[in-house]
Structure 1
Amino acid sequence: MTGAAGFIGSHLCERLLGDGHEVVGVDNFSTFYERGRKEENLHAAQASPRFVLREVDLAVADIGAGLGDCDGVFHLAAQAGVRGSWGETFDIYTRDNIVATQRLLEALRFNRIPAVLASSSSVYGNAAQLPASEDAPLAPMSPYGLTKLAVEQLVRIYVAQYGLDVVSLRYFTVFGPRQRPDMAFTRFLTAALTGGVVHVLGDGHQTRDFTYVSDAVDATVRALGGPRGAVYNVGGGSPASIEAVLALVTVISGAALTVDHQAFAAGDVTHTWADTSRARRELGWRPRVSLDDGLRAHLDWVASTLSAAAA
């Protein structure tokens, strides 16, 4: 599994180990955020004798040599983040998203192993009709979204030309314990617990289809071996505005928030909402964790992280 030390990847490692599998985790420990957080993500997985971690850069490594004994591949490694994809850093996105994926697809071509690839709701841009189905027009609004669409197109090409068994998942705003420090929920909850200022990009009326991490992981596991070339939305099913999220943070934390509204960020879309009927029908998947319950678990994790850092 690639991206093993990341937010979703580390949870997926634990799910697979819990299901009795042997897991080879791959990560390049990019500098997008500090390595220590990623190493902490893997503490539970590394306690298992059935887990092996390999520090590998997919853009340059001999990937095929490590696939021979694998029954399936989960490709979650990527350079994430809409706002960081503009300007001179775009080459990082093309390298870690497009080039790395193309090299992995080449390795899969010769090893004939089924795979699941992580894409993003960013491929839709500002969808004209909501909830957005997988057949909706794709018009990303950011260089990051463009690279994820390019990755999906690479998969389509390799499926058509070489018959690869690859499924793509479009994740919608995943949250929960271990969420990246730059993402909204982690920032909001940290500010609530520390008395800091909550910085909100935009007026707060924008909405997102928030998906709890265990639901994203469950969809990912179910997708392995799914219909060749299929694409599925993975969303929580209950869009909420940022204003509504902040109100919920106030309730569950008991803290009065100081909110600083800033300009909308380039590339951020106004609304997202996933039509998940295809995943429900073909994968037997459905989201199970509500925004309220998931945010409370996220809060507990942020609190424990802050306590550990202060010790």
Structure 2
Amino acid sequence: MKILVIGSKGFIGSHVASFFKLIPDSTVFECDVMVDYEKDNYFLIDSTNSDYHTIFQNTAFDVCINCSGAASVPDSIKNPFRDFTLNTYNVVKMLDSIRTNQPGCKFINLSSAAVYGNPAEIPIHENLPLNPISPYGIHKMQAEQVCQTYSRFYDIPTCSLRIFSAYGNGLKKQLFWDLFQKAKKGHDIELFGTGQETRDFIHADDVSKAILCCQQKAEFKGEVINVANGEETTIGSAVEIFYSFFQGTKKVHFNGMVKKGDPLNWRADISKLKGMGYVQSVDLYDGLLKYYLWISQL
């Protein structure tokens, strides 16, 4: 089994590449925009003009996992064309390279729960109408449509995984990284929102396991699959758990302001994923403890 991980230097991509290297009879190839002189089976892509044809012309892959792209709602608002290029246009380029060179390669596209925006109901199942509230969410939705197009018209085996609130070692942005940075500056912490907003957190190790389940059991007919744990946790509760690992008491104040593009409540229906054999292995407490121990060494 030859597996190509595009975006292997990123947060989720690095976890996925490491995880699949442990799978028996699997050979992992990596691809990213950063130079790496040490790794074997590594492809360097030009960040300004990515070309995947040479990769798919010279090596036959069984599976391509796309972990690449931008992953910042605020940045997508500031730089919408850049976000479109990285999250939508590049997916077209990958799939057209597959179509041209090896149409039998399975393509797993990492999408985002951002496609749902503020959902009409909880839990969020895959058939709910999409209502993205940021350029990032719109571009992820468009990438899913691209995957469906190539599956429908060219018989390319594709599926898109809607990742909810992923976290873990290596993540240097979003809520828990922000909490760490603010804790270094003092004990009084101000955060956006009310603290009652909810997320469905999933550790990067479990994201990797979910991808394996999908790689083995998905139909690859352009379908979409939620990747989460089906657990709704308030931001206030997550903050309390995380700060329990720090020395001294942190006084947290929520300012009531909602950042543009941020959803209010998320909890996924993961019936599809569970039907493929997914079982959570890292709960939020243990995952945040691992993350705290990691950042403590920085």
Q: Quick check: 1:189–1:249 contact (8 Å CA) kept in 2?
A: no
Q: Alignment partner of 1:170: what SS?
A: strand
TM-score, L = length of structure 1:
0.86
Q: Which residue of 2 aligns with 1:141?
A: 133
Q: Which residue of 1 aligns with 2:158?
A: 166
Work out the number of aligned pairs and report it.
286
The correspondence for 1:96, drawn from 86, 90, 98, is: 86
Q: Which residue of 1 aligns with 2:194?
A: 203
Alignment RMSD, CA only?
A: 2.1
Q: Which residue of 2 aligns with 1:122?
A: 114
The amino acid across from 2:191 in the alignment is: V
Q: Quick check: 2:43–2:55 contact (8 Å CA) kept in 1?
A: no
Per-residue deviation, 1:105: 0.8
The amino acid across from 2:46 in the alignment is: D
- Alpha-carbon separation, structure 1, partners of 2:50 and 2:258: 38
Structure 1 residues 59 and 22: alpha-carbon distance in aligned structure 2, compared to 1, 3 A threshold: farther
Q: Which runs of 5+ in 2 are unaligned?
A: none
Q: Which runs of 5+ in 1 are unaligned?
A: 30-38, 306-311
Q: Quick check: 2:50–2:90 contact (8 Å CA) kept in 1?
A: no
Q: Which residue of 1 aligns with 2:19?
A: 15
Per-residue deviation, 1:194: 6.1
The amino acid across from 1:276 in the alignment is: I
- Alpha-carbon separation, structure 2, partners of 1:193 and 1:61: 38
Query: 2:177 aligned with 1:183, yes or no?
Result: no
Per-residue deviation, 1:197: 5.3
Per-residue deviation, 1:92: 0.3
Q: Quick check: 2:30–2:42 contact (8 Å CA) kept in 1?
A: yes
- Alpha-carbon separation, structure 2, partners of 1:129 and 1:204: 20
Higher helix share: 1
The correspondence for 2:64, drawn from 73, 76, 79, is: 73
Map 1:259-278 → 2, pairs under 5 A:
259-262=252-255, 263-278=257-272
Q: Which residue of 2 aligns with 1:27?
A: 32
- Report Cα offsets for 1:265-293 as digits up to 9, x if no partner: 10101001110001111x21122211111
